[in-house]
């Protein structure tokens, strides 16, 4: 079975540009999570969806960040305008059930560098 | 808010020896799940072991086992017969109805040959 697929794997762009990160969850999973990983702050939960509906976006750092899930097989995380402090590895994860012993399955992450 | 604390930023172990990674958490909930994930340099997040809070028996997966102390809110990971391939970042994670994804800061494990 295919795992969680993220694209691109690496993204380098200049400050002020719009950045779009993409995620395809595992088929059948009803929860999707976006995380950001940095050395300083570790792994932070940004937002999560249940059945394509955003449930909690309290981790989104500011209005420059937005996430959508138009259908069960696709989600995007956008940053507009991007800033150097947004540089991090962004992970998408999916799971079956938000409250269960089923683990979150992670994609390989997108390493984002904002110059 | 629930917090997960990994107090050891770095740990080192000799190959074939045993190492224990610590994790504590703060919660007022009685029903939750705990996980340990491994992140090698490849950046993948790999599930190592899971524990249901309602189970008293400690989970075991081959060379990996946990010491779950619910009253103390402690969830440590023991790696026996350490191998070079065990070198990675290890994250402790908490999951409940109100917090579907809370991770600790991680512990970087080095395995010396």
At residue A41 the predicted structure's pLDDT band, cuts being 50, 70 and 90, is confident
| Res A89: pLDDT | 96
A115 interfacial to chain B (CB closer than 8 Å): no
What is the number of H-type helices and E-type strands within chain A?
0, 11
What's the pLDDT tens digit per position in B30-63?
Answer: 889 999 999 999 888 999 999 999 888 899 999 9
What's the pLDDT tens digit per position in A59-98?
Answer: 998 899 999 999 999 999 999 999 999 999 999 999 987 6
| Res B39: pLDDT | 95
Bridge-based pairing state of the strands A65-71 and B3-5:
unpaired
| Res B20: pLDDT | 98
CB A46 within 8 A of CB A34: yes
Q: Which of A95, A102, A104, A112 to mutate: most B Cβ within 10 Å? A: A104
CB B103 within 8 A of CB B93: yes
Q: Cα–Cα distance between B84 and B95 in angstroms, integer? A: 30
Measured between beta carbons, the chain B residues lying within 8 angstroms of A93 are 45, 101
| Res A39: pLDDT | 85
At residue B3 the predicted structure's pLDDT band, cuts being 50, 70 and 90, is confident
CB contact under 8 A, A43 and B91: yes
């Amino acid at each position: 079975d295919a795992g969680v697929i993220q694209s691109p794997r690496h993204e380098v762009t200049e400050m002020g540009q719009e950045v779009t990160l993409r995620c395809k969850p595992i088929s059948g999973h009803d929860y999707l999570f976006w995380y950001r990983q940095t050395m300083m702050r570790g792994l932070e939960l940004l937002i999560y969806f249940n059945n394509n509906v955003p449930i909690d976006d309290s981790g989104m750092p500011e209005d420059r960040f937005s996430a959508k899930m138009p259908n069960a097989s696709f989600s995007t995380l956008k940053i507009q305008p991007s800033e150097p402090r947004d540089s991090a590895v962004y992970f998408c994860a999916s799971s079956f059930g938000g409250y269960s012993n089923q683990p979150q399955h992670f994609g390989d992450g997108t390493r984002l560098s904002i110059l | 808010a629930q917090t997960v604390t990994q107090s050891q930023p770095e740990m080192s172990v000799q190959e074939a020896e045993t190492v224990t990674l610590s994790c504590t958490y703060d919660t007022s909930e009685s029903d939750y799940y705990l996980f340990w994930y491994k992140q090698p340099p490849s950046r993948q997040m790999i599930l190592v072991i899971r524990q249901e809070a309602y189970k008293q028996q400690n989970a075991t997966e081959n060379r990996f086992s946990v010491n779950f102390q619910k009253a103390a809110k402690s969830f440590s990971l023991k790696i026996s017969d350490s191998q070079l391939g065990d070198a990675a970042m290890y994250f402790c994670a908490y999951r409940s109805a109100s917090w579907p994804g809370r991770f600790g800061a991680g512990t970087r494990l080095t395995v010396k040959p």
